[in-house]
């Protein structure tokens, strides 16, 4: 099957020049001309089927430069279903950690988050432990944490461009609906799914518990499968994006699973990676030129 190498430069740090493109063609043994996707930012380079084994060598050759190299199959490049993680993917934050910071227990909860996202701890157990530490704190801290939330570069552009071209989009998180519903609205996702953080409305405090069942890695995978079946979309035409260990099942199953500035355990398991650039790269990797972007 024919492959396409997409090279993308981080616009604030460098430019994609002719010498870099030539280097990539040499390493990947590509003989066809590159297609410009965005001047000095992104190109597509058709590659032979053997290019997969040369990708590590190309990444080594590009080390130290703010350039990503994503290899995809030519067939079914433009995906019809997007399922994306939220924390550290669509937003720059870990929202539960931010909530804990406002409660004055940020370091304690962040340490558990790190272990969970690195795959060192069962997700459901980690979530229960972290939420239990919030018991008795005022629910008003949720609004304070929301004010800290920042969308990652390209988040709106990714979602709105794919929706413009007929893609169904879903935001899914092991975090909480309080945040996903708002982030989904900002970006334009068709739907959002997350855990429910329980609140004692009479006292205005967090109960230290979540609703059941807990949305974890297998739930994310099940959502990808369910939405693909519901909308009649082959697995090959699905895109999943995430950064943590709890995203691995859906990343492995999707037609294109993109590890976005991911934890080491994820980068080790997922070949398609965005390590240097923004969420715009998820569009370039599907062959979209910058002129087709929406929501910029």
Question: Annotated catalytic sites, by residue?
Answer: 85, 87
Contacts of 152 (CB under 8 A, 6+ apart): 89, 90, 91, 92, 278, 279
Inter-helix orientation angle 155-164/177-187, to 10°: 60
Tokens read off for 171: 């935001």
Q: Give the list of residues 6+ apart from residue 7 with CB closer than 8 angstroms, or none.
A: 16, 20, 21, 24, 42, 43, 45, 67, 68, 69
Gyration radius of the chain's alpha carbons: 20
Residue 121 near residue 111, CB atoms below 8 Å: no
The span from the CA of 49 to the CA of 36, in Å, is: 21
- The CA dihedral of 226, 228, 231, 232, to the nearest 10 degrees, is -120
| DSSP codes of every residue in 70-130 | EEEESTT-S-SEEEE--BTTTBSS-HHHHHHHHHT-HHHHHHHHHHHHTTSS-HHHHHHHH
Among the listed residues 213, 149, 211, the one whose alpha carbon sits nearest the alpha carbon of residue 180: 149
Cis peptide before 213 (omega within 30 of 0): yes
The answer to whether 238 and 159 have CB atoms below 8 angstroms apart is no
Give CA angle at 296 (10, 59), nearest 5°. Answer: 20
Separation of alpha carbons 48 and 109, rounded Å: 47
Tokens linked to 33 = 């001309």
């Amino acid at each position: 099957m024919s492959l396409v190498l997409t090279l993308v430069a981080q616009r604030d740090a460098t430019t994609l020049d002719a010498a870099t493109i030539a280097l990539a063609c040499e390493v990947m043994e590509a003989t066809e001309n590159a297609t410009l996707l965005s001047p000095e930012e992104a190109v597509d380079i058709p590659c032979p089927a053997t290019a997969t084994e040369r990708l590590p060598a190309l990444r080594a050759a590009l080390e130290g430069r703010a350039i990503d190299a994503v290899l995809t199959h030519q067939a079914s490049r433009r995906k019809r279903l997007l399922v994306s993680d939220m924390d550290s993917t669509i937003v720059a934050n870990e929202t539960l950690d931010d909530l804990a910071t406002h409660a004055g227990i940020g370091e304690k909860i962040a340490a558990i988050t790190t272990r969970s996202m690195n795959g060192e701890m069962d997700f459901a157990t980690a979530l229960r432990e972290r939420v239990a530490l919030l018991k008795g704190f005022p629910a008003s801290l949720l609004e304070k944490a929301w004010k800290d939330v920042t969308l990652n570069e390209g988040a709106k552009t990714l979602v709105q461009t794919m929706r413009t071209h007929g893609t169904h989009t879903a935001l899914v998180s092991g975090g909480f609906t309080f945040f996903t519903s708002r982030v989904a609205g900002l970006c334009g996702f068709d739907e959002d799914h997350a855990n429910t953080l329980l609140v004692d409305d009479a006292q205005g405090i967090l109960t230290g518990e979540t609703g059941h069942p807990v949305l974890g890695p297998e739930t994310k995978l099940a959502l990808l499968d369910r939405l693909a079946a519901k909308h009649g979309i082959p697995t090959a035409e699905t895109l999943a994006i995430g950064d943590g260990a709890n995203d691995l099942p859906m990343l492995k199953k999707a037609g294109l699973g993109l590890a976005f500035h991911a934890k080491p355990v994820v980068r080790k398991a997922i070949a398609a990676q965005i390590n240097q650039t923004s969420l715009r790269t998820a569009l370039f990797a599907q062959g979209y030129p910058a002129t087709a972007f929406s929501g910029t």
